[in-house]
Amino acid sequence: MTITRFAPSPTGRLHVGNIRTALHNWMLAQKAGGQFILRIDDTDAARSKEEYVEAIRADLEWLGIEADREERQSERLDRYEAAFNSLREAGRIYPAYETQQELELKRKVLLGRGLPPIYDRGALELSDTERAQKEADGVQPHWRFKLDHDEPIQWEDGVRGIAKFDPKLLSDPVIRRADGSWLYMLPSTVDDIDMGITQVLRGEDHVSNTAVQIQMFTAMGAAVPAFAHEALLVGKEGKLSKRLGSLGCDTFREKGIEPEAILALLSRLGTSLPVEPITDRDVLLDTFDLTTFGRAPAKFDDADLDRINTAIVHGLPYDAVKHRLPEGMDEAGWHAVQPNIAIVDEVSEWWRLVTGPIEQPEFEAEDKAYLAEAVQALSWSDDPWSGLTSALKESTGRKGKALFLPLRQALTGMNHGPDMGELLPLIGEAEAKARLDRAAS
């Protein structure tokens, strides 16, 4: 069975890049009839907050991304301890005592020589006596995973193709801090093993992490999942944008963006498939394929999201939005104003043209006489607008803007708006005559 996971840290709100990763992993599982796990990576107790856990759940629910189950790293600390001890006994984990300042100095020296800033494994050269002396002096070690330099690292990446790393060109990663807290690498690998993760889809900034973790899987005698690394999102200017790191579901909701628009855009952003206002998730799932993903940065543009959102709003059926509409607005009202809105919240402003009050412009004497004639010409029928304009065209000889604009202004107070053929029956005969009479006087 295909099992994927989305593993956010609850140290902040989800941003658009996180949402895209969650969506793609959910789609991978859905398309294969598998399982999608939400894993809360909350080992950083100082920065993790329950309010962010709740916000993550709420955002995914709003988007319709449903997890088959949820796991929390804070409830699995014993598993990480067991894996740590096992790897330490096997000689794959060792203590290191350098301070951050010492490590930075080593890095600068290597860079100054034109060499890769790789950890030199100085801690492995310490004798037992030297280690004992450091700890007697109060120096607590951090812990590194020892890479096997004789084991080449290679995998078939679902997006990037064949990926190769020489372990000699990688630093042994720190997996545990001196205070005993965990970094990302080991807990994530243990979780993937225990939860049976078969596919890991994440951003290309994790490629070197994958190289290291593949050796961790092997060291623990576990099968290695299939890995795929998608290009990161960039802004429309083509650069990594801090704004994208703060753009999340709250912002989208405040702007009136429909969740279907977000899914339609993010499901195909960075692929060779056209981004279209598709609301049918089965269509998005049927066409979702890692082979369509490119390696070029995926450009996120608000204009694209707005365009898709507007198209989706224009196609929303009444039953899908009736609970969000102003009181008294029926299906005919929705149908009348729908083509004029970009977000559903704009409907209230247009519905005001029906319920009033409206503010009419001051008309010239000639138009006032024309509107007075309109009061007499208005005859209610199945299509009162066509009847009114046909009668006035014949009696006054007006046509085009001169025929239609004064009527629209008198009836709605605006120069543009919904189709009057649909709007006038909603205003009603008595109110329409009253507005025309008021404008004429």
Annotated binding site: 242
d(CA 65, CA 50): 20
| DSSP conformation letters of 208-229 | HHHHHHHHHHHHTT-PPPEEEE
| Buried b / exposed e along 217-238 (16+ C-beta atoms within 10 A) | bebbeeebbbbbbbbebbbeee
3-state SS of 351-395?
HHHHHCCCCCCCCCHHHHHHHHHHHHHCCCCCCHHHHHHHHHHHH
- Coil, helix or strand for 263? helix
Tokens 């006994």 sit on residue = 89
Known binding-site residues for ATP equal 242
The angle formed by the CA atoms of residues 252, 234 and 237, to the nearest 5 degrees, is 100
CA distances in angstroms from 209 to 134, 186, 202, 229, 289, listed in the order given: 30, 11, 11, 11, 24
| Buried b / exposed e along 410-438 (16+ C-beta atoms within 10 A) | bbbbeeebbebebbbbbbeeebbbebbee
Contact 436, 406 (CB under 8 A): no
Helix axes 400-412, 365-377, angle to 10 degrees: 80
Q: Considering only CA atoms, give the Rg of the chain.
A: 32
Phi, psi (degrees; rounded to nearest 5) at 179: -85, 5
Tokens 């970094």 sit on residue = 183
Contact 226, 192 (CB under 8 A): no
